Structure 1
Amino acid sequence: MQTECSAGAYEFPASCGRHVLARFDGGRMSSDGGVILVKQVDDSLGFSRRFAACFRDKRHPAFVEYRVEDLVRQRIMGLALGYEDLNDHDALRHDPVMGLVSGRLSGSRANCAALAGKSTLNRLERSGQQADRYCRIIADHEALATLFVTLFMDQHERAPARIVLDV
């Protein structure tokens, strides 16, 4: 049975100085185009930026390829797409749509991919209370807890009379 397909194109807001157009005629492809909508929500809430501000980066600046905000946004977008395992990011780091929504279409060094791999993201996720030899990005757990309350309250004109947590 023949399916009915729309051969048209869908235009999105420009990103990274590039025109973003979704079409169905091949080329370098990604199956995760819906994440562009997630990026628009993230941009409007400033979630990745605000979340990244809850970390202290103790890495030597000369050796840093991926900013904390880049790592946070990449991980959030991967999770939103259902890629919960870090090893998925070794393939996603070359995905053109992931690069687009993460704001990085290429690495700044010749031997680096546009996005971080599983090992770099692992160091972010394993961040502890103090820097050590392998983990130099430190999470401020108090700031993270405050951020989630602040994000919730930002969505309301006044504090709700009652909040139900359905666990």
Structure 2
Amino acid sequence: MTACLPSYFTFQNLGPRDVIADFHGGRITSDARAFLLREVDTRFEFLDAFATCFTDHRDPNRIEHTLVALVKPRVFGLCLGYEDLNDHDRLRHDALLAVLIGVTDPLGHDRTRPADRGKPLAGKSTLNRLELTPVGADEDSRYHKIVAHIDRIADLLPDVFVRQHATLPRRIILDLDATDDPLHGRLLGPTRAVLSRVLRPLLLPPAEHLRRRLLAGRHPAAE
């Protein structure tokens, strides 16, 4: 019996356009699995909420890439294994990544500057302003003007976790493996692990912080 395999796959539309993946060549990507990330983000709107944890002090009249259009490709890039900001000088050409974040011109044909046409997304220099801005920056800072509010991010992550439950869970079990990074030299934050000095990063917010979120009345089941 011959197996009937689909010759193409359809995904959520990009405005009025159909989004179709096929195997006929043309624009080829090895990151098609990222469409699953788009479906998850569309359902839970996590990255839109995450973007509200930043304050953008840039001049509104000179902004081409909105704050959300910076946050989404950076987070999606990390999820796909592109950890270095330099990777985005190549990813800024990626029509698939542009579709994921909802850019209506995924080929970048309508960019304002002729030198940017064909590049629908922001490159490393613009993303640098998002990622490397110090906490105390303001509108008078020369380059780094997008400030992350760590307290808002700390509040958001437990809230997102809790809201995925239809009813408040009676028990939450967190089973974590230690991730020991060996340290060399006089670096900050070392602890002793048998025969070496290591750094054990904080993997979760404090349990008390999560407990307060469960009891704060912010969960629909608790209201």
Give the TM-score, by structure 2 length. 0.68
Q: 1:7 Cα shift?
A: 6.6
Match of 1:160 in 2: 169
Match of residue 71 from structure 2: 72
The letter for the 1-side match of 2:19 is: V
Matching residue of 2:47: 48
Q: Following the alignment from structure 1 to structure 2, what is the Cα–Cα distance between the partners of residues 65 and 95?
A: 17
Matched, 1:117 2:123: yes
Structure 1 partner of 2:210: none
| Secondary structure of 1:11's aligned partner | strand
Aligned partner letter, 1:81: L
Map 1:81-160; keep pairs closer than 5 Å: 81-104=80-103, 105=106, 106=108, 108-110=111-113, 111-112=115-116, 113-131=119-137, 132-160=141-169
Partner Cα separation in structure 1 for residue 39 and residue 16 of structure 2: 15
Distance in 1 (CA, whole Å) between partners of 2:133 and 2:43 is: 27
Cα root mean square deviation, aligned = 1.9
Give the structure, 1 or 2, with the largest relative contact order (CA under 8 Å, sep 6 or more). 1
Q: Which is richer in helix?
A: 1
Report if aligned partners of 2:57, 2:145 keep a CA contact under 8 Å in 1: yes
Q: Percent identity?
A: 41
Residues 66-104 of structure 1: per-residue CA shift (max 9 Å, x gap): 111111111111111111111111111111101110212
Cα distance in 2, alignment partners of residues 56 and 28 from structure 1: 36
Greater shift in the superposed pair: 60-69 or 156-165: 156-165
Which letter maps to 1:59? R
Structure 1 residue 130 displacement after superposition = 2.5
Residues 139/100 of structure 1: CA separation in 2 closer, same or farther (3 Å cut): same
Q: Distance in 2 between matches of 1:13 and 1:103?
A: 11
Contact 1:127 1:135 in 2 (8 A): yes
Q: Larger deviation: 25-34 or 86-95?
A: 25-34
Equivalent residues of 2:95, 2:120 under 8 A apart: no
Amino acid at match of 2:145: R
C-alpha distance in 2, partners of 1:27/1:86? 27
Matched AA of 1:54: C
CA distance in 1 between partners of 2:172 and 2:129 (Å):
35
Residue deviations 1:24-56, cap 9 Å, x none? 111122221111111010111101100000101
1: CA distance, partners of 2:20 / 2:72: 21
CA distance in 2, matches of 1:98, 1:62: 25
In 1: Cα distance, 2:15 partner to 2:154 partner: 31
CA distance in 1, matches of 2:170, 2:125: 44
Written as runs of structure 1 = structure 2, the 5 A alignment for 1:11-26 is 11-26=10-25
Structure 1 residue 16, shift from structure 2 partner: 3.6
Q: In 2, are the aligned partners of 1:66 and 1:116 still within 8 Å (CA)?
A: yes
- Report the Cα distance in structure 1 between the residues aligned to 2:33 and 2:128, rounded to whole angstroms: 25
